[in-house]
Amino acid sequence: MSLRYLGEEFEIHGGGRDLIFPHHENEIAQSEAFTKKPLAKTWMHVGMVTIRGEKMSKSLGNIKSVRHVLENWGPNVIRLFCLSGHYSKPIDYSEDLLKENLTKWRQVETAYYEMIMADGTSDGTEISHLVKECNQEFDISLENDFNTSLAASAFFKLVKGVNRIAASEAMTKSIADIGLPEFERMSEILGLSVQKVSKQEKQSVMDLLKKRETLRGQKQYSEADKIRDQISQLNIVLLDHKNKTIWMKKEKILSDTS
């Protein structure tokens, strides 16, 4: 198949570490004896997924199916979990680690919506330095034997910086315009995707927010809370700031009990 679809030589050959011998060594012996050329330029052997240090197996009854994990945690949390270790090392499946990555994912969602909802102008010197620093750390990490753990650390350094600026009420559109492109570049490379909203959804939420603010202004707090509950049913979370309220759409994750 490789000869037919990839040619006599190709760039990357992947597989689990348990396939190095005899499978891949036999593959090399057969292919290179036939073509007289190196089969692949780069071999990337991944570590196994374990549970409490043991290899998953039906006989031990410790298998977690992809469907089960996806349904309970969603693709982004799973990706963050897998990216947290080096591809060549074993990674131990843990509900606690998945919960930690769920918390991190909520921080990512918050950072994204803080930036796309920002308005106003200000000096972007602080975030410019942060973006440059994170960009360099991210790229260097991936160039160093695809070290996704360090690359993810650089990404979260940017996320935390954005959220810190937003928490200090200093987020503006001019700052967001600097931070958002790098945030989206890193997200795309890591395979992460924040929930987006359609124009219709956005208008619906904005109408509800306007109604809520009117009720709050009239000190009808009980009625305003009902609007907030109505909004939350749409997987929309309100982020109240000193002089405004912004919102974000959360990815629906069954295991999220917060």
pLDDT in tens, 86-130: 999 999 999 999 999 999 999 999 999 999 999 999 999 989 999
Provide the 10 A C-beta neighbour count for residue 83: 20
State whether residue 1 is helix, strand or coil: coil
Average pLDDT estimate for 157-174: 97
Gap between the Cα atoms of 35 and 56, Å rounded: 37
The residue that leads in pLDDT, 199 or 98, is: 98
CATH code given to domain 99-190: 1.20.120.640
Instruction: With cut-offs at 50, 70 and 90, classify the pLDDT of residue 10.
Output: very high
Torsion of CA 234, 237, 241, 246, to 10 degrees: -40
DSSP code per residue over 3-22:
HHHT-S-EEEEEEEGGGIII
Gap between the Cα atoms of 74 and 69, Å rounded: 7
Q: What is the pTM of this model?
A: 0.89
pLDDT on residue 245:
84
- Residue 114's φ and ψ, nearest 5 degrees, are -60, -35
Where, residue-wise, is CATH 1.20.120.640 in the chain? 99-190
- Residue 219's φ and ψ, nearest 5 degrees, are 60, 25
Return the amino acid letter for 44.
M
Residue 57 confidence (pLDDT) above 80: no
Residue 214 confidence (pLDDT) above 80: yes
Residue 258 confidence (pLDDT) above 80: no
The residue that leads in pLDDT, 198 or 162, is: 162
pLDDT on residue 91:
93
pLDDT on residue 198:
86
